[in-house]
Amino acid sequence: MLISDLNDTLAMVLAIGDGKVLEPLTARRAIAAMPFGGTYRIIDFALTNCLHSGLRRIMVLTQYNSLSLQNHIRDGWSIFNTDLGEYIMPVTPPINSTVSTYAGVADALYKNLYLLDGAKEETIILVSGEQIYRMDYAAVLAFHAEHGADVTIAGVPAVNAYGATFPVALEVEGIDVKGVRTESTVPGPDDNLVWPMRVFVFKRKKLVELLKLLDGRSPIEAPLSTLIGDNMQLFKRVVAYRFGGTSGRVTQDRYWRRLDHLDDYYEANMDLLELEPPLDLYQADWQIRTYQTQRPPARTVPGRSCNEGICVNSIVSGGTVIAGGGVNHSVLGNRVYIDDGATVEDSILFSDVKVGEGAQLRRCILDRQVQVPPNEQIGFDKARDAKRFTMTPNGVIVIPSDYKFTS
């Protein structure tokens, strides 16, 4: 695809989820701002895809608990040159005579219709900032242009869906979308169905025309794919782009994760610890960009008992110290401290967590700054843990940042 075509494209990253599915971890942050893999934020994947795909004009639609997200965008993504027409810009819900929130993607776009109406770009790509995947958007845009489509909807086949339930499915013949099924479905082996992954390409004028149909209507909660399916007569051609094909410059890990539950979030982090991780973070020409402050290297040291600090098959971020404790099959954020004799297994620890001497953690997620007292046990007594903490259906213990342990 020509650079001039990419310069004629506006990317809109959607980070508007209310975060309820990941509470209590989203009590003070948006889903898009959730830490992942020790050092990243979830939105880094969508923004990295934009960066490597040559997209330099990016709007990020935000809504709930967006301060942490906006700080991260400011600190980690202020890399674009406005003198060259490049930018990344958070967009909050507009306030008119009333203050309202977005009911869904279609409603968010409608309430920002003035931005689309006034945009100079002729192509709009909409992507979710709340999912974990790597994708060459330039390949999607080339596919859209090559087939003369008014709308391109990217979708995942069943094998890449990781058991997610979808509110709609696309009925396709070849690459052409013929209709949209609106019943909730779990993807199955059907070559005539593709499941939307919240990546859309529109001719801008057609998107504006579609959204203007919402004039005078109540805020629409239905997925954008449903709105498209209900108004197919507006478009000359709607096509489906299948995620995980051979086009594009991303190594074909075909990994796509939607975070519908805390267990999804936990499993996505644990995926990184497999012998051959299904998500390739190590492709040299597709590095995932994020913001990292200056920190000393992580290290293991002997504790007061002279026990060596031990770390096995884990991700350990900068500034972390394992001082005589043991860490196995876990993901540790920045500046975590594991004290003498403490053990951490199958767990995710956010930044600035301290695990006291002799404490034992198993299958836990600890939010930032949690201070685990000495000799505490978490993840060993389900009945006791369920009374104190949030427990997921799969038995993972989740401890929020403001939790205070009692002696």
**Beta strand extents in 211-357 (DSSP E only):** 238-242, 256-258, 299-301, 310-312, 315-316, 321-323, 326-328, 331-332, 337-338, 343-345, 348-349, 354-355
Q: Is residue 405 part of a domain?
A: no
Is 260 in the same domain as 309?
no
Is 151 in the same domain as 240?
yes
Is 159 in the same domain as 12?
yes
| CATH number of the domain where residue 204 is located | 3.90.550.10
Is 245 in the same domain as 336?
no
Q: State how beta strands 169-173 and 193-203 pair.
A: antiparallel
Is 257 in the same domain as 149?
yes
Is 265 in the same domain as 316?
no
Residues 6+ apart with CB under 8 A from 72: 33, 41, 43, 291
Instruction: For residue 383, give the amino acid letter.
Output: A
Is 325 in the same domain as 264?
no
Q: How many domains does the chain have?
A: 2
Of residues 160, 141, 135, 142, the one with CA closest to residue 283: 135
| CATH number of the domain where residue 332 is located | 2.160.10.10
Asked whether the predicted pLDDT for residue 190 surpasses 70, the reply is no
Instruction: Please give the DSSP secondary-structure letter assigned to residue 185.
Output: B
Range of the domain at 376: 299-399
Q: Is residue 279 part of a domain?
A: no
The pLDDT assigned to 6 comes to: 63
Q: Tens of pLDDT along 217-275?
A: 777 777 888 889 889 999 999 999 998 887 888 887 889 998 999 999 999 999 999 99
The pLDDT assigned to 167 comes to: 80
* Band of pLDDT at residue 191, cut at 50, 70 and 90: low
Q: Is residue 288 part of a domain?
A: no
Is 244 in the same domain as 312?
no
Q: Tens of pLDDT along 274-314?
A: 999 999 888 888 999 999 888 999 999 998 998 899 999 99
Q: Is residue 387 part of a domain?
A: yes
Of residues 8, 26, 7, the one with CA closest to residue 17: 26
Q: Is residue 381 part of a domain?
A: yes
Is 200 in the same domain as 75?
yes
What b/e string do you get for 30-59 counting C-beta neighbours within 10 Å, with b at 16 or more?
bbbbbbbbbbbbbbbbbbbbbbbbbbbbbb
Is 248 in the same domain as 319?
no
- pTM for this structure? 0.93
The CA distance from 177 to 239, in Å, is 5
Q: Tens of pLDDT along 122-155?
A: 999 999 999 999 999 999 999 999 999 999 999 8
Is 188 in the same domain as 313?
no
129 φ, ψ (degrees, to nearest 5):
-100, 15
Q: What is the mean pLDDT of the chain?
A: 90
The CA distance from 399 to 340, in Å, is 22
Is 214 in the same domain as 310?
no
What b/e string do you get for 316-355 counting C-beta neighbours within 10 Å, with b at 16 or more?
bbbbbbbbbbbbbebbbbbbbbbbbbbbbbbbbbbbbbbb
**How many Cβ atoms are within 10 Å of 267's Cβ, its own excluded?**
16
Q: Is 306 left (phi over 0), alpha (psi -120 to 50) or beta?
A: left
